[in-house]
Amino acid sequence: MTPQEIFDALKTAFGDAVIEGKLTGTIDPFIKIAPDKAREIGLFLRDDPRLQFNVLMCLSGMDYAGGKLGVVYHLHSMAHNHKIVLKTEVPSEGGHVSSVESVWKTANWHEREAYDLYGMTFDGHPDMRRILMPYDWQGHPLRKDYQVPEFYNGMKVPY
């Protein structure tokens, strides 16, 4: 299916949860979705026979600066050989995204990484812990406004 057809299928099924689609003029066409509907939309994209997005290639956290975080999903369907990008935005303080871990298992570690480095919470994730940083680390290092702490557990952090 073309990106436009994928967008239309999503729009019919989910209405306002599909916010907008930028399908031309970009290298990868993307669809913007509501963060609290990510799981339902993911399940639909995976199981609908016309779409069959069986592989989540990549899930990235983002900091768009100006108090907005985001999550970007890159999906691919092996059966139909088409791709789509989903984007969602949440406020940087107390942002919640619904977890797609139950749709694609690979999202488990990707979502933990996004939480670790950006700080948005994934609702419905079975194991929402830090993954790359130590468990007692303060703050979320990939945010644009992140300040390197002077001390970690009483030890001076060099530069």
Partner 1 sequence: MEENLAQVTTLPGFGRALKTEEMVINMGPQHPSTHGVLRLELVVDGEVVIDVIPQLGYLHRCFEKHCEHMTNYQQVIPYADRLDYVAAMSNEFGFVVAMERLLKIKVPERVEYIRVIMAEFSRIVSHLIALGTYGMDIGAFTPFLYCMRDREHVLDIFEETCGARLLYNYMWIGGLSHDVQPNFTEKVKSFCKYFRPKITELNDLLSYNKIFIKRTANVGVLPGDVALNYAVSGPVLRGSGVKWDLRKNDPYSVYDRLEFEIPVGRGLRGTVGDCWDRYMVRVHEMEQSVNIIEQAVDKLPSGDVQSALPKRIRPDAGDIYARTETPKGELGYYIVSDGTATPFRVKVKSPCFVNLSALPAMCRGAMIADVVAILGSIDIVLGEVDR
Binding site for partner 1 (CB under 8 A): 26-28, 54-58, 60-63, 72, 74, 78, 81, 85, 104-106, 108-109, 117, 130-134, 141-142, 144
Whole-number minimum distance, CB 137 to partner 1, in Å?
10
Q: Which C-beta is closer to partner 1: that of 106 or that of 121?
A: 106
Element (H, E) at 62: strand 55-63
Q: Which C-beta is closer to partner 1: that of 12 or that of 129?
A: 129
Alpha-carbon gap, residue 84 to 82, rounded angstroms: 7
Whole-number minimum distance, CB 12 to partner 1, in Å?
26
**Closest C-alpha among 112, 82, 90, 116 to residue 100:** 112
Whole-number minimum distance, CB 156 to partner 1, in Å?
18
Residue with tokens 């509907």: 37
Alpha-carbon gap, residue 4 to 64, rounded angstroms: 25
